[in-house]
Amino acid sequence: MGVPAQSVAADGDLIARYLAGEEPAAAELVRRHATALARFIAAHGAPEEELEDLTQETLFKAFRALGTFRGGASFRTWLLAIGGNVLKDRRRRWRRNQVVALTPDIRDPSGDPGSQAEAGWAAERLQEGVVKLARLQREVFLMRAQQGLGYDEIAAGLGISEGAARVHYHHAVKRLKAWIA
Amino acid sequence: MDRMNEELPPGVGPAWKALEARAAERAARVDVERVAARVLERLRREGAEAPRFRWMAPATLRAAAAVVVLVAGAAIVRLTLGSRESVRLPVGIPAMDSLSSPQLEAVWEATGEVSSVVDSVAPPSTGVSLDDLSETQLETLLASLSGAEG
């Protein structure tokens, strides 16, 4: 799937403008991508109180490293990959502090109370499963299932082959299915 | 994205939908304008920061290099002799004798991780410099090092 070509071009233009010293271009990029990035981070099981900080940290690191961005993947995908790295570091702290990331208000937004409770339980199990996935499996799964990216785009963003991206996704789904069964 | 959800097997799909709805809800609470302002503020403050190089006087650099060479040599000797014999090098670095405390601290920072190796291989400096070693002691030291290399 991937980000439409026009959007990539527009991001590229904003990146060039920011690198040329135009600060508002960076603000525009943040506005464009921050919510999707936050969603990606939230689905990783990030605690609510750290979500904004993690989003900020990822964007800051991305802009600092913007000179190294070569455009092999879209800016969004590149950003998500950096988010994965930021999360990797933060995850150690969560493990130390035994953070329980989910609150019990996960529910199926369309269902009745009975099915909501069931969906809520399954979603909690699924979230646990997502957290327990190997890092690449988790990132590939979320990039595809949540962000709707194609394997080629995911592969470019994570620096792996397209075949490897497919395999990671397949294993992730298989493990998640077993986890919530 | 619906196509992606359709890829998910029964059981995972509805749970994913609920989880994703929750993630989207939480993400929507992130104040994008505040994030943008903070990112820009940090970039202004830290973004242009050059890599942190700490100026060190040539004498300090020489001393640091000497420490590294000494530690490497001692480590080689230790690895070569194994646990049969512990090697102690009662040697100070001549140039370090004249260093101030901050300079010494800079030396240890420069040698960084190897300082722990120093501790494990050789005791803290005894205040004896290479100049203080007798000819026999120097020959023994050199023999140890050359033996380790050979």
Q: What is the pLDDT of residue B64?
A: 66
Q: What percent of chain B has pLDDT over 90?
A: 20
Q: State yes or no: pLDDT of B73 exceeds 60.
A: yes
* Mean pLDDT across A27-37: 96
Ranges A165-169, B46-50, B137-141: which has the least confidence: B46-50
Say if residues B107 and B60 touch (Cβ distance below 8 Å). Answer: yes
Taking only the tens place, the pLDDT of each residue in A65-87 is: 998 888 889 999 999 999 999 99
Mean of all residue pLDDT scores within chain A: 86
> Which residues in chain A have Cβ-Cβ distances shorter than 8 Å to B26?
38-39, 42, 48, 51
Proportion of chain A above pLDDT 90, given as a percent: 67
Q: What is the mean pLDDT of residues A48-59?
A: 96
Please check whether residue B12 touches A, CB under 8 A: yes
Task: Label residue B68 by pLDDT band (50, 70, 90).
Answer: low
Indicate whether B31 pLDDT > 70: yes
Give the pLDDT mean for B117-131: 47
For the segment B55-73, the average pLDDT, to the nearest whole number, is 66
Provide the residue type at B73 as one letter.
Answer: G
**Residue of A57, B140, A145 lying closest to A165 (CA atoms):** A145
Residue A71: what pLDDT?
A: 84
B40: distance to nearest CA of chain A, Å?
Answer: 7
Q: pLDDT-derived band of residue B115, with 50, 70 and 90 as boundaries?
A: very low
**Confidence at residue B125, expressed as pLDDT on a 0 to 100 scale:** 46
Residue B13 touches chain A, beta carbons under 8 Å? no
- State mean pLDDT over B95-122: 51
Question: In this complex, is the C-beta atom of B50 within 8 Å of any C-beta atom belonging to chain A?
Answer: no
Greater model confidence, A50 or B77: A50
List of residues 6+ apart from A171 with CB closer than 8 A: A134, A137
| Of residues A165 and B92, more confidently modeled | A165
- Poorest-pLDDT segment among A48-52, A91-95, A101-105, B98-102: A101-105
Q: Kindly tell me if the per-residue pLDDT of B139 is higher than 50.
A: yes
Q: How far is CA A46 from each of CA A76, A95, A97, B134, rounded to the nearest angstrom?
A: 19, 12, 13, 64
Distance, CA of B93 to CA of B57 (rounded, Å): 16
- State how far residue A123 is from chain B, nearest Cα, in angstroms: 4
Sequence-distant (6+) residues with CB within 8 A of B101 are: none
pTM of the predicted model as reported, rounded to 2 decimal places: 0.62
Cβ atoms of B91 and B130 within 8 Å: the answer is yes
More confident residue, B134 or A51: A51
Could you give the CA distance from residue A161 to residue A164 in angstroms, rounded to a whole number? Answer: 5
Residue A31 has pLDDT above 80, yes or no: yes
Give the minimum alpha-carbon distance from B50 to chain A in angstroms, rounded to a whole number. Answer: 11
Q: Is the pLDDT of residue A12 over 50?
A: yes
Nearest to A120 among B18, B28, B35 (CB): B18
Over residues A9-32, the mean pLDDT reads 91
Residue A165 in this model has a pLDDT that exceeds 90: yes
Quick check: B25 and A172 in contact, CB under 8 A? no
* pLDDT tens, position by position, A116-162: 666 678 888 999 999 999 999 999 999 999 999 999 999 999 999 99
What's the whole-number average pLDDT of chain B? 66
* Contact between residue A176 and residue A129 where contact means Cβ atoms under 8 Å apart: yes
Query: Would you call A163 an interface residue with chain B, using a CB distance cutoff of 8 Å?
Result: no
Can you give the pLDDT at residue B126? 46
Contact B67, B31 (CB under 8 A): no
Q: Is the pLDDT of residue B117 over 50?
A: no
